[in-house]
Structure formats: C-alpha cells, structure tokens
C-alpha cells in the first residue's frame, strides 16, 4: 500500500538534537484505529521526536501512542495557524531559532517575529522608489 506523502519536501530539524529529520510513515492511533500518517522522525538512536504538518512536534512512544505530557515546541503560524517546524539554528547565537510554516512558507524567529513579512515590505518599498531601505 502506497503511503500518503507530504505535498512538498520539508527540512525540519529535531528540536532536541538539531539534526535533519527523515521522512517516514507512522501509524498513529486515531479514534482507536492505527492510521498511516506521513511524518518526519529524528534519526538519532532512541530519540522519539517526530513532526507532522497536522500535529507539529510530538513524542511517539514505543507502542505508537503519543505522550501529551512531553514538552515539545508548539510554534504556530500567525497567518494560518499551522504548526511550524524548526528550520535553522545558529550555533554562534545559541538562542536563535528560525521556524517555517509548511503551508504558506511564513517565517518566525524567536528574536524578530515574522521575518517573511519584513522581507515582503522591503521588496515593496524598493519597488516603489527604487531605493533600498
């Protein structure tokens, strides 16, 4: 049986290990039934961190259940409410995090808020008078 794949290739990082997660399909229990669901999993041995476009980050136990008590990031897009994924960190600025929306490609950082909107405003200002801000 062919699994449903995400509509575009994402590159989420594991929020624990800061490594690229791998595409996979997992069976989540939905209404008591195991349901094949496209997701991303951390490749680090024994790490149970996963990401899906519909749920965001979650921790999957060995038996396929999620543990809602585990602390995971819950960053949502301010445009459409979609769970965002960790796309980039900066090892020199340890606190920097860039989050991306898988639906609208919106961006947020923990330092600046939405950077996607700021860059759109710069392009529109540049186009009006030909001078970069």
* DSSP code of residue 82: P
pLDDT digits (tens, 9 = 90+) for 98-118: 999 999 989 998 876 544 444
At residue 54, the pLDDT reads 87
At residue 24, the pLDDT reads 94
At residue 34, the pLDDT reads 84
Q: How far is residue 75's CA from residue 127's CA, in Å, rounded to a whole number? A: 32
By the 10 Å C-beta count (0-12 exposed, 13-18 middle, 19+ buried), 78 is classed as middle
Residue 52's beta-bridge partner residues?
A: 56
Query: Which helix (H) or strand (E) is 56 found in, with range?
Result: strand 56-59
pLDDT digits (tens, 9 = 90+) for 22-44: 999 988 777 888 889 899 999 99
Q: Counting every residue, how long is the chain?
A: 133
Q: Token digits for 53?
A: 């476009």
* pLDDT band, very low/low/confident/very high, at 120 (cuts 50, 70, 90): very low
pLDDT exceeds 80 at position 83: yes
High-pLDDT (> 90) share of the chain, %? 43
At residue 131, the pLDDT reads 39
Pairing of strands 22-30, 33-41: antiparallel
Q: Token digits for 60?
A: 């999957």
At residue 124, the pLDDT reads 33
Mean pLDDT calculated for residue range 2-13: 65
* pLDDT band, very low/low/confident/very high, at 64 (cuts 50, 70, 90): low
Nearest Cα to Cα of residue 10 among 50, 35, 40, 41? 40
């Amino acid at each position: 049986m062919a699994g449903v794949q995400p509509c575009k290739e994402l590159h989420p990082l594991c929020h624990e290990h800061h490594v690229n997660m791998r595409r996979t399909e997992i069976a989540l229990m939905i209404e008591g039934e195991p349901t094949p669901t496209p997701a991303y999993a951390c490749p680090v041995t024994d790490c149970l961190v996963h990401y899906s476009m519909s749920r965001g980050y979650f921790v999957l136990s060995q038996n396929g259940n999620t543990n809602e008590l585990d602390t995971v990031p819950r960053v949502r897009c301010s445009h459409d409410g979609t769970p965002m994924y960790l796309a980039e960190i900066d090892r020199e600025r340890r606190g920097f995090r860039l989050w991306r929306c898988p639906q609208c490609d919106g961006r947020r950082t923990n330092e600046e808020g939405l950077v996607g909107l700021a860059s759109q405003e710069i392009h529109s200002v540049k186009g009006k008078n030909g001078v970069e801000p």
